[in-house]
Amino acid sequence: MINAGVVDTLILGPIRGVFALVALAMFAVKMWALVDAAIRPAPAYVAAGKQTKVFWVVVTAVSVFLGGLSLFGIIAMVAAIVYLVDVRPAVRGVRRGGDAGPYGPW
């Protein structure tokens, strides 16, 4: 018979470590989405045809606080990923300023 301490040390310990790394990576992605949503100019969201800046900052902030590997944590991760792969590129593509020529604003 295998000792419970051995099972905990050899099997469950590394599994807990993997889950901790996954949770940490999820937290980092959510924080990246929150910070990026906060630093983008508000008119860029409207110009890109996306929801408002306030909406995305609130969604990403809630996603940070709904951490872990629970169902809500995974839904929150999906919201952060939607921001990063859909909204962020569109908002980054919006240029500031008036008349922009082929080599930048005049």
CA 31/CA 54 separation, integer angstroms: 16
Quick one: tokens of 57?
A: 């900052």
Domain-by-domain residue ranges, the chain? 24-93
**pTM for this structure?**
0.77
CA 96/CA 55 separation, integer angstroms: 21
pLDDT at 76 > cutoff 70: yes
- What's the mean pLDDT in 19-24? 89
pLDDT of amino acid 20:
87
Q: What DSSP line would sit under 6-42, residue for residue?
A: HHIIIIIHHHHHHHHHHHHHHHHHHHHHHHHHHHS-H
Give the confidence band of 51 by pLDDT, cuts at 50, 70, 90.
Answer: very high
